[in-house]
Amino acid sequence: MLSQRQNENKESKHLALAQSASLFTFIPDGVVVLPAPQNLSIQSANMKHLLTWSPVIMPGETVFYSVEYQGEYESLYTSHIWIPSSWCSPTKGPECDVTDDITATVPYNLRVRATLGSQTSAWSTLEHPFNRNSTVLTPPRMEVTKDGLHLVIELEDLGPHFEFLVVYWREEPGAKEHVKVMTGGLPVHLETMEPGAMYCVKAEALVKAIGKHSAFNQAECVEVQGESLPLVLALFAFVGFMLILVVVPFSFWKMGQLLRYSCCPTVVLPDTLKIPSSSQKLIACRKEEMDACDVAVLSSEQFFQAWISQKSPVE
């Protein structure tokens, strides 16, 4: 029984040592070395590049990682120089977005190491250099809508490297396809549609920096129903024109009346101040008699003799 327990203890010790060996690397002098990250790979889609690796597991501890890279020039002429990644020096997670580091269409070397306190692991290097021209371009997402009679498209914004080749056509036999090149992120008017017709749109992504394009996405179609919108607009326009013909002249006439009564008012005399027609005739007759009279100028002696002659009969 005792020998059986001793054998079990030996087996458990060997298992514990085996587990520890998977976490630590020993060097001859007995110093524990942090293991390097393994299984480095890079996934690239639509010019977004993500470097990943298997995490270094340390129970109860937080392991940090550092990422460095070399461009073509550094790898050829200054191989001892490595550049720290913009966003991942250091980082906690077992991945790093190196999109901002990969700025040219040339091969890049990438490497990662783990850090725990004062301990650092050896560097693990990506097996094959990465070139961004290997990125996978996917068909772009888009939204096709109608704004009245306007055909409108909005494409997703994939970044500054992307342009989109948009093809649209009217759905009918022998229809001609129209092509436009545009950027994403904003609604763009494609064409003015005819009522009762259906229009279809498809698009593909273009990246001139790497000379690649995606496949076309699935075409989307919209239809404008045969609405009586033009007739309604024409009716409103006719009513508005008739209102203008009536209201504008009336407004001018009313304004003239106001100005007339304001600047040159008409004075109406009350009946008590009016001269009757008979009095007007009398005044007119006396005026005619006065016009017919001769005017004589008498001297003082003649005036005195005339006065005496008028007084004599009375006496």
Q: Which domain-ending residue is among 109, 134, 159?
A: 134
Residue where a domain terminates, one of 229, 244, 276: 229
Looking at the structure, do residues 128 and 148 belong to the same domain, yes or no? Answer: no
CB-CB neighbours of 96 under 10 Å = 25
Token readout for 81 is 């120089």
Please indicate, yes or no, if residue 206 is contained in any of the structural domains.
yes
0.75 exceeded by pTM? no
155 phi and psi angles, rounded to 5 deg: -105, 150
- 238 and 230 in contact (C-beta within 8 Å)? no
195 within some domain: yes
Whether residue 75 contacts residue 100, with contact meaning beta carbons closer than 8 Å, is answered with no
Calpha distance 18→20 (Å, rounded): 5
Residue 306 placed within a domain: no
Q: Please give the pLDDT value at position 313.
A: 54
Residues in contact with 52: Cβ distance below 8 Å, sequence separation at least 6, in sequence order: 40, 41, 42, 43, 94, 95, 96
pLDDT value of residue 19? 39
Q: Is residue 245 part of a domain?
A: no
Can you tell me the distance from the alpha carbon of 210 to that of 228, in angstroms, rounded to the nearest whole number? 50
Contact (Cβ atoms closer than 8 angstroms) between residue 190 and residue 151: yes
pLDDT of 4: 43
Residue 47 lies in a domain: yes
* Residue 122: CATH number of its domain: 2.60.40.10
pLDDT of residue 49: 98
224 and 161 in a single domain? The answer is yes
- 174 and 192 part of one domain: yes
Q: Is 155 found in the same domain as 127?
A: no
Domain count, the chain: 2
> Does residue 110 sit in the same domain as residue 46?
yes
Helix, strand, coil % (nearest 5) of the chain?
30, 30, 40
Q: Residue 232 corresponds to which tokens in the numbers above?
A: 């309604």
The three state secondary structure string of 179-208 is: EEEECCCCCEEEEECCCCCEEEEEEEEEEC
Q: Which domain holds residue 87?
A: 34-134
Q: Based on the domain organization, do 107 and 175 belong to the same domain?
A: no
What CA–CA distance (Å, rounded) separates 287 from 179? Answer: 100
Q: Mean pLDDT for each consecutive 10-residue tract of the chain (315 residues)?
A: 43 40 46 85 97 94 96 92 93 96 96 95 96 97 94 96 96 92 94 92 97 97 72 75 81 74 64 57 49 53 66 53
**Residue type at position 181:** V
- Cβ partners under 8 Å of residue 265, min gap 6: none
Residues 105 and 182 in one domain: no
154/179 same-domain check: yes
Cβ-count burial 240-258 (b if 16+ within 10 Å, e if not): eeeeeeeeeeeeeeeeeee
113 and 150 housed in the same domain? no
